[in-house]
Structure 1
Amino acid sequence: MNQLIKMDEEYRKWIEDIGKRYKQRQIKASVSVNQEMIGFYWSIGKDIVEKSAGSKWGSGFFVNLSKDMRTILPGVQGLSSSNLRYMKKFYELYSDPILPQFVEELKSKEDSINVPQLVGDLSDKELFSIPWGHHRAIIDKCKLDREKSIFFVKKTILNNWSRAVLLNFLDTDLYERQGKAISNFEYALPEPQSDLAQEITKDPYNFDFVAIREDYSEKELKDALMDNITKFLMELGKGFAFVGREYTIPIEGTEEKIDLLFYHLYLHCYVVVEVKIVAFTSRDIGQIGTYVNIVDDLVKTDFDAKTIGLIICKSKNNILAKYAVNSSKEPIGISEYKLSNLLPVEYRASMPTIEEIENELR
């Protein structure tokens, strides 16, 4: 042991207390091992911050603490100096002084713990439910951006992301795009569906999984999306189920064809999607509003929630889009898409068409 543990009574008692806390948590049921361990890491981070340990016990503090903890907890993993620094960052990122019922239950067994009640709308149980490796990745990528960190914790829980998948999404602009569509959901839908509907949107949608020529038509883009339906559904987000393309609804001797129809499993509602390869115009609101109304009247059942409309266009004037959605009583969102994987116009000319192939085979 280093000289500090021999000479400083406060430090010695703290190290002993850490050992007791660890052994208490080690006894917990195996099903809550991860939650208990993350809680233990939280408590260490809290101690380091509240004791101003780095400044009180010198620049070599984390190295010495690591050595001393390994001495009193031989064979225990996760006590390196770098991991101790992560514990400090973990506490600083999410700390909140208010204690919830869950924490009070833990306090009845261990008086010294203090963990957050809610950070945004994130509960302590949620915070402690994902593996430590995920937390380290989030800390590395999100730095001290609390809202962004919360976003990825909740996404990890919702989608059951592995660390590799989480790292992939941390390197994208998912946080900046999620829930950003211009909409009237706040006025056109009851709570909490309005908030949930907004959350399922993105702006822009990333169609880079599609390879298409530069002067593509609307039909070609929709064909490409359907050819990559799995990736399209992944981009739309978890909960979307594909119902049909050009979904036909008979109406008094005529029929209407809905561009793309989806069902959202969590919102329990149909979602009408219109893809436009040009800039948004106010006329688009009338078209999708009509389709939403038709689906509500002829497709939706009493067990389904209100149908939502989503326009995904090449570009939009945000002010015009806001005025346009506010003019409709139907719940409508407007987003852009980005598409950078474009092929030269000449590419199509070098490839035979289906008709040309069929003629050659005759």
Structure 2
Amino acid sequence: MSNLINNETINILYKEIAKVIDNSKRNIVAAVNSEMVILYWNIGKIIKTEILQSEKAEYGKSVISDLSKDLTKEYGKGYSQRNLFNMVKFFETFQDEQILQTLSAKLSWSHFVKLFYIDDDLKRDFYTTMCINEHWSVRTLTDRINSMLYERTAISKKPELTIRNDLKQLNDKNKMTTDLFFRDPYVLDFLQLQDTYSEKDIENAILADLEKFILEMGRDFAFLGRQVRITVGNKDYYIDLLFYHRKLRRLVLIELKLGEFLPEHKGQVELYLRWLQKNEMNEGEEPPIAIILCASKNDEEIELLEVDKSGIHVGQYLTQLPPKELFQEKLHKAIERARDSLASREIE
């Protein structure tokens, strides 16, 4: 009996101490990372202000080359010529030391290397904010940049002031707007669908690779069910996919359409939303929203139907990512059209 009590006591103590050790290790790693990031920023500052902006600027590259050799010899390969220039770029991009102190506790040097090569300030702020709030790894950040997440998010089509306000709200209050959540198009290339497929095939593929689908939608997305039955009167209907978004604090239904978006889809999904609001919405939650994922859509038709006023977002899905240049051009044109449309409405 004594041995049993002794073993149980040791086991409890072991778990408590292991927890303290693990927490301490995480804190040490975070502190070391933060110090390294600030160190690199300070090195970039010295090189920028004392070498590249001095009267010796024409000798800058050769000076940095010699400096790199000396630093590498003494402190290791982290001080290569390329990395020293990265530190300069880092300082040039994030010049506010107070903001840097905050970010350095949340992002690694590898994250910063991806971020400071984004030339557009607004786009960089978007990726920085989303990276911190959704705890993206460096690989995830790279994938999101390569898939042009910013350009695909509804917020990119809004005025700059709206974008900055929404990002600030997410940073300061941990509150996300639907514009930061909705995308168009949705990139579902990871589903590996064949040339011929049905709506059921898409649904099955999403559920088979739910982790990647949720990563495309956002990490606060939680799966609730498929083919969720609702009954209106004596008639049954089925919601393709039902999720919950924690930051939005609302149910999100997804309706999958194999072909193009049709006006009648709006009425169908409005019915589902009203049923969910009446029967499934909990106290403190926002009204449910819907995403209709379709193979193609007519933007003018969607605008005339005013589907957004019903809490419905219509997004095209891509089962294959097109060539980057073509994709980039298409998205930039869509952003310009959306902003022009907003501007014309304000004039009216």
- TM-score normalised to structure 2 length: 0.68
Q: Which amino acid aligns with 1:243?
A: L
Is 1:157 the counterpart of 2:132? The answer is yes
Q: Which amino acid aligns with 2:93?
A: L
Match of 1:136 in 2: 113
Tell me the alpha carbon deviations over residues 312-336 of structure 1, each in whole angstroms, 9 at most, x when there is no partner. Answer: 111122232233236x643221210
- Residues 138, 170 of structure 1: 8 Å contact kept: no
Q: Which amino acid aligns with 1:281?
A: L
Match of 1:228 among 209, 224, 232: 209
Match of 1:320 in 2: 301
Tell me the alpha carbon deviations over residues 89-114 of structure 1, each in whole angstroms, 9 at most, x when there is no partner. Answer: 01222335xxxxxxxxxxxxxxxxxx
Q: Which amino acid aligns with 2:146?
A: D
Q: Which amino acid aligns with 1:89?
A: K
- Residues 134, 218 of structure 2: 8 Å contact kept: no
Is 1:147 the counterpart of 2:122? The answer is yes
Distance change in 2, residues 1:313/1:90 (3 Å): same
Is 1:93 the counterpart of 2:93? The answer is yes
Match of 2:269 among 271, 275, 288: 288
Is 1:338 the counterpart of 2:318? The answer is yes
Distance change in 2, residues 1:317/1:146 (3 Å): same
Q: Which amino acid aligns with 2:95?
A: S
Could you tell me how far apart the structure 1 residues matched to 2:151 and 2:223 are? Answer: 25
Match of 1:256 in 2: 237
Match of 2:257 in 1: 276
Could you tell me how far apart the structure 1 residues matched to 2:227 and 2:270 are? Answer: 16
Tell me the alpha carbon deviations over residues 113-159 of structure 1, each in whole angstroms, 9 at most, x when there is no partner. Answer: xx154xxxxx75125531212322444xx453333433333343334
- Residues 34, 129 of structure 1: 8 Å contact kept: no
Shift, 1:207, TM fit: 2.0
Q: How does 1:22-61 map to 2 (within 5 A)?
A: 32-51=31-50, 53=52, 56-57=55-56, 58-59=59-60, 60-61=62-63
Shift, 1:296, TM fit: 0.7
Identity value in percent = 29
Could you tell me how far apart the structure 1 residues matched to 2:175 and 2:102 are? Answer: 25
Distance change in 2, residues 1:307/1:286 (3 Å): same
Mark the runs of 5 or more structure 1 residues left unpaired by the alignment.
1-28, 97-114, 118-122, 342-362
Could you tell me how far apart the structure 1 residues matched to 2:203 and 2:29 are? Answer: 49
Distance change in 2, residues 1:221/1:69 (3 Å): closer
Is 1:214 the counterpart of 2:195? The answer is yes
SS at match of 2:128: helix
Could you tell me how far apart the structure 1 residues matched to 2:229 and 2:156 are? Answer: 27
Shift, 1:213, TM fit: 4.2
Could you tell me how far apart the structure 2 residues matched to 1:31 and 1:161 are? Answer: 15
SS at match of 2:240: strand
SS at match of 1:157: helix
Shift, 1:83, TM fit: 2.0
Shift, 1:247, TM fit: 0.9
Match of 1:63 in 2: 65
Q: Which has the higher helix share?
A: 2
- Residues 280, 316 of structure 1: 8 Å contact kept: yes
Q: Which amino acid aligns with 2:124?
A: S
Distance change in 2, residues 1:299/1:200 (3 Å): same
SS at match of 1:274: strand
Could you tell me how far apart the structure 1 residues matched to 2:279 and 2:249 are? Answer: 16
Tell me the alpha carbon deviations over residues 154-206 of structure 1, each in whole angstroms, 9 at most, x when there is no partner. Answer: 343334333344444443333332346989xx9xxx98899522212221112
Is 1:78 the counterpart of 2:59? The answer is no
- Count of matched residue positions in the alignment of Structure 1 and Structure 2: 280
Could you tell me how far apart the structure 1 residues matched to 2:175 and 2:237 are? Answer: 27
- Residues 134, 220 of structure 2: 8 Å contact kept: no
Could you tell me how far apart the structure 2 residues matched to 1:127 and 1:305 are? Answer: 34
- Alpha-carbon RMSD: 3.4
Could you tell me how far apart the structure 2 residues matched to 1:214 and 1:237 are? Answer: 27
Q: Which amino acid aligns with 1:335?
A: G
Distance change in 2, residues 1:208/1:82 (3 Å): closer
Match of 1:173 in 2: 148
Could you tell me how far apart the structure 1 residues matched to 2:39 and 2:275 are? Answer: 55
Shift, 1:292, TM fit: 1.1
Distance change in 2, residues 1:273/1:180 (3 Å): farther
SS at match of 1:256: strand
Could you tell me how far apart the structure 2 residues matched to 1:66 and 1:231 are? Answer: 41
Distance change in 2, residues 1:176/1:305 (3 Å): same
Q: Which amino acid aligns with 2:305?
A: A
- TM-score normalised to structure 1 length: 0.65
Shift, 1:85, TM fit: 1.0
Q: How does 1:91-130 map to 2 (within 5 A)?
A: 91-96=91-96, 115=97, 117=99, 124-126=101-103, 129-130=106-107
Match of 2:283 among 295, 302, 316: 302
Q: Which amino acid aligns with 2:33?
A: N
Distance change in 2, residues 1:306/1:78 (3 Å): same
Q: Which moved more, 1:253-262 or 1:284-293?
A: 253-262
Match of 1:238 among 219, 228, 233: 219
